[in-house]
Amino acid sequence: MNVVITGASKGIGKAIAEQFAQQGCDLFLCSRHMDKTNAWQQQLMERYNCAVMSSNTDMGEEGQVREFAQKVLDAFDRVDVLVNNAGVFEPGTVHGEADGQLERMLRINLLSAYHLTRLIVPRMIEQKSGHIFNICSVAALNAYTNGGSYSISKWALLGFSKNLREEMKAHGIKVTSVHPGATMTGSWEGFDIDPMRILEAGDIARMVVASAGLSEQACVEDILIRPQLGDL
């Protein structure tokens, strides 16, 4: 399989890349700092006998999204899996956060997935198959304290994902919305967190890869995974 993953240099995206590499999949990865993971990419290729290509891409900039999509389409004659994982968390309140925060959250957390999918999905329609994963959040399901524009953007991403699911059914393309609870990624750096109260990035990755491996007639529409002891 050919797999495209955004926001793949750390956290959930990196864990998903590792899990797909273990399955022998060829990868095209991007993030703003993908070049800082060259040694890791080389390890994946040597260990799992897969191809790994990558691009430094700011998914909050539409022009760079378009450039990345063209690189993918030039490299792969088919795209089997697209994981829209690029995103950023900034706490805040609707009435108190800085001007421009909503626009920034929407560019990175929603429009990155919207624009990339629109550029990649014609190839999937042509091949009559494919699987798109949109990494949403439990913040897309319930309002929570200090969620602000981040939560709004994730609700919007879920709306995009649900609409896309309906549109793609007739083309043989699956769409899955992924809702992780608190997960040990860069967003939690500096916090003193009991490891038993937070998910590992690998937990989400294993669920994504398992869903991608189901039969042609089966589609996991939503993955909701929370810490065993509940949300933080």
Q: Structure tokens of 222?
A: 């939503």
183, 200 contact by CB (below 8 A)? yes
3-state SS assignment for residue 177: strand
184, 198 contact by CB (below 8 A)? yes
Which among 33, 52, 34 has a CA at the least distance from the CA of 43?
A: 52
Bridge partners, 31 (sequence order): 56
The model's pTM is 0.94
Domain that holds residue 11: 2-225
- Would you say residue 230 lies in a domain? no
Residues 6+ positions from 37 with CB-CB distance below 8 Å: 9, 14, 54
Q: What is the pLDDT of residue 144?
A: 82
Count of domains for the chain = 1
- Would you say residue 128 lies in a domain? yes
Sorting pLDDT into bands at 50, 70 and 90, what band is 86? very high
3-state SS assignment for residue 193: coil
CATH number of the domain bearing residue 94: 3.40.50.720
Element (H, E) at 62: helix 62-75
pLDDT tens column, 128-172: 999 999 999 999 999 888 889 999 999 999 999 999 999 999 999
Q: What is the pLDDT of residue 13?
A: 97
- Would you say residue 231 lies in a domain? no
Active-site residues, by number, are 150
